[in-house]
Amino acid sequence: MVKLRGLLVVVLGWCLWLGAAPLAAAATVAVPPLPGPVARGFDPPDRPWLPGHRGVDLLGAVGGRVVAAMAGRVVFAGNLAGRGVVVVSHGTLRTTYLPLRPLVSVGEAVSAGQVIGRLAAGHRCPGGTCLHWGLKRGDAYLDPLSLLDLAPIRLLPAGTVPQATSGTRMGLLVGAAQPVT
């Protein structure tokens, strides 16, 4: 958890240093492809060829509905290395979803929240089966959670539990089930 916090601080600092706008501001706000919690967060490698986690894993149940995070056009829907995969293009961004049983076809336009498939077995994570949700711009892997309209990030002292207040939204936190304030 300490390593993840450190990585978050480094990534946030890097984005601020570059003056980068959040992805959610550059694109329309996305919806989570599955309602489940984040079982494993984004952990990109230092170099493209090194091991890492190039997306996020959302906990779900086999057969659960997987929806498109944003409006776009399906550019791949089929099996890849024995797993069902759907890739949706959103202009300069692409989202990937696996493993699933695709319910869409290549070339089909999809809207945010439209069912694109059913979660399939094959991507285990702590607690059951997960959907691996990825995001790319060109060859760069990005954190798909950055597309969601989550509450603003507030850095708190270690061990502090955020408290919900009137008007706050629930956000996705890796390894946490607390409201984001």
pLDDT, position 28: 61
Q: For the chain, list the strands marked E by DSSP.
A: 38-40, 56-60, 65-67, 72-80, 83-90, 93-98, 100-102, 109-110, 115-119, 124-125, 128-137, 140-142
pLDDT of residue 180: 34
CA–CA dist 131, 122 (Å, integer) = 9
What is the distance, to the nearest Å, from the Cα of residue 29 to the centroid of all Cα atoms in its chain?
Answer: 12
Cα 102 to Cα 79: distance, rounded to the nearest angstrom: 9
Bridge partners (DSSP) of residue 115 are 67
Whole-angstrom distance, CA of residue 17 vs CA of residue 144: 21
CA dist list (Å): 145 to 45, 116, 122, 124: 17, 19, 22, 20
Distance CA 131, CA 67 (A): 11
Express as a percent the part of the chain with pLDDT over 90.
Answer: 46
Low-confidence ranges of the chain (pLDDT < 50): 1-27, 164-181
Q: Are 61 and 119 in contact (CB under 8 A)?
A: yes
Check whether domain 27-147 has CATH 3.20.190.10, yes or no: no
Cα 79 to its chain centre, rounded Å, is 21
Q: How much is the pLDDT for 151? A: 53
Domain ranges of the chain: 27-147
Q: Is the peptide bond before 48 cis (omega within 30 degrees of 0)?
A: no
pLDDT of residue 44: 81
Phi-psi group of 126: left, alpha or beta (phi > 0 → left; psi -120 to 50 → alpha; rest → beta): beta
Tens-digit pLDDT profile for residues 16-31: 333 333 343 344 679 9
pLDDT of 57:
92
